[in-house]
Chain A
Amino acid sequence: MKKSVPIALVFITAVIFLLEYFVLPIELKSTVTMLQNWGIILTAFTLGFGAVNMFVFHGKQVSRRAKGQWPYSLWLLIILVLFTLVGVIMGATSTQYSWLYNSSYFALSATVYSSLGFYMTSGIYRALRAKNAESALLLIVGVIVLARNAPALAAQFPILVNMDSWLSSVPTTSAQRGIMIGAALGAIALGLRTMIGRETGFLGQTTEGEKGG
């Protein structure tokens, strides 16, 4: 019962979405929209779980004075309360809330994204080493693409542009398409297993008695 009800719900919902995509689009549109709205409501509701989890976890860290953790936890809780208060009192679309969001999260988010460049550089430094045939190939291709994206080098050696173009449109595209076809088939198989109740890993493993078949 604990597993069969969720599986039945998954099956019915999946069939509705499939029918809406392939068959009778107008008649099922309102049902699909309703299901999507339920999803949004559920998401909003579960945010409460997330907030409670954060308060419990970080509250414990602060009360235990967990080494190396509690100051960050305290700071997180202060910011969490501040955002909640401003959002609830002033409104999530107010100037005050927007200012708070843009001048803290927006700036920090951009900073973290920018730091990606350094992580990529250190990753490339380790990856581009000719240890064997495959890594030597990766090194050669990597150097060509890097050189092509350096404007001065691309202007000096126009052949790099053609080489990069061929690499992107032939081997890379064919490999990506192969991966996409495999992934799509994998997703269909997983979807089917989920719909018919065979893939229950996301609900916890079934016992032998529950498996059936």
Chain B
Amino acid sequence: MIVNQFLVLGALLFSLGIYGVLVRRNAILVLLSVELMLAAVNINFVAFGSYLPDAFASGHVFALFVIAVAAAEVGIGLAIVLLIFRNRSSANVDELDLMKW
């Protein structure tokens, strides 16, 4: 296995996630696309961790950190979406124009 195959796969998944973040209206689907981007980053971390094995297994440890932070992010994100839905009966990001001048 060469390094580049993982880098290309990670880039592909990351840009799919960017497309999803930009094009989706529903806030939950935006969060789903963000998860896709985080998975792409994790692939890069683990691939580099295996490519440059050091005494601390740094790449793999950082992938674990990314997973933990992503779990926290989803919890808070969904709570915020839930709150917005409760207040405005809609979870569409283009209808949230409270801070728009």
Asked if A and B are interacting partners, one says no
Give A residues with C-beta under 8 Å from B: none
Binding site for A on B (CB under 8 A): none
